[in-house]
Structure 1
Amino acid sequence: MKIRHVRAIAVFGIALVALTGARGSGGGGCDNNSSSSSSSSTSGGSHGDSDGTSGGSSGGSLPGGGSGGDKAARDVTIDECTYDPATRNLVARITVNNSDAMDYDYTVTMKFTGGAGATAVPATAMKSGIAVAGGGSASAELTTPYTGSGDGSEYTKCEVTRASRF
């Protein structure tokens, strides 16, 4: 192969990475994990990071890019999503891992949905003020009332729809 072809391929590869951006890895939906009704598939300084990206996985982080706005979403791991019959709430248990040196307060929004063709009306839960020290982690529970008349089994998936930190 001639050197000009190698150079052209290298330039194309660099341009492709620059245009699409390097992305972190994420997981699948709740259907492919060990938790029965789970899915994921997030005190501060003077700056905040936020992410409005959807997606996630149980036991994994949200997919995210290299920008600071994606950092908050990548810090959130969904441990479990379930229905609590005692309180009639949909519940998401998460862990927020802060690998930075600064302390942050996180705000996380979750969406509960059903599978394809399911009758579940999407429900949203939000929690703010999740304080995570620099280099530490914190667990949190997000809840939203269950408005259905059954046992909550129509909700098969939950995901982080927004995460920010300040």
Structure 2
Amino acid sequence: MKIRHVRAIAVFGIALVALTGARGSGGGCDNSSSSSSSGGSHRDDDSTGGSTSSGGSVSGGSSADKAARDVTIDECKYDPATKNLTAKISIDNSDMLDYDYNVTMKFTGGAGSTAVPATAMKTGIAVTGGSTQTAELTTPYTGSGDGSEYTKCEVTRVSRS
């Protein structure tokens, strides 16, 4: 009887390790940026006039999570010609259905920065099933400098319909 009990505990322990070890926390960001539950994938890019992009990764299975995973930030910068903060994104729709995406970005500065958070939104970005579409989101720069106080941009909301 003792052997059956020990064997049952061993099987339970292996099953528990297999279940808990199989769970991940989604991807992360490079350059020590933090993860966000509402961002898409991203990259940090110090070659864009002092501005960088950052976002996060999403885990889970809701429709909003799937839409957020489709968005990648390609570049964030201040455009001196238009005096706008701009974000260039790519949306990869790997589904077979066509979707219209709505994306909201937030531009911020680092710790101790004087940057006032700014938001850019673009709606109705049509992406056919199985393809990738690029888009640019812009918001007016309200500062008086060269935009270098803005060091991060992140996707704060994504939806598709």
State the alpha-carbon separation in 2 of the partners of residues 96 and 31 from structure 1.
Answer: 14
Q: Number of residues paired by the alignment? A: 143
Q: Which segments of 5 or more consecutive residues in structure 1 lack a partner in the other structure?
A: 42-55, 57-61
Identity %: 64
TM-score (norm 1): 0.76
Report the CA distance between 1:33 and its aligned residue.
4.1
User: Secondary structure of 1:101's partner?
Assistant: coil
**Match in the other structure for 1:27:** 29
| Aligned residue type for 2:75 | E
Report the CA distance between 1:118 and its aligned residue.
0.7
| Aligned residue type for 2:73 | I
Decide whether the 8 Å contact of 1:64 with 1:70 is kept in 2. Answer: yes
State the alpha-carbon separation in 2 of the partners of residues 33 and 12 from structure 1.
Answer: 39
Residues 1:7 and 2:12 are matched in the alignment? yes
Residues 1:92 and 2:87 are matched in the alignment? yes
Cα deviation 1:59-93 (Å, max 9, x = unaligned): xxx33323333000000000000001111100000
Decide whether the 8 Å contact of 1:110 with 1:126 is kept in 2. Answer: yes
Q: Which segments of 5 or more consecutive residues in structure 2 lack a partner in the other structure?
A: 1-5, 34-41
Q: Report the aligned-residue RMSD.
A: 2.3
User: Secondary structure of 1:73's partner?
Assistant: helix
TM-score (norm 2): 0.78
Q: Larger Rg: 1 or 2?
A: 2
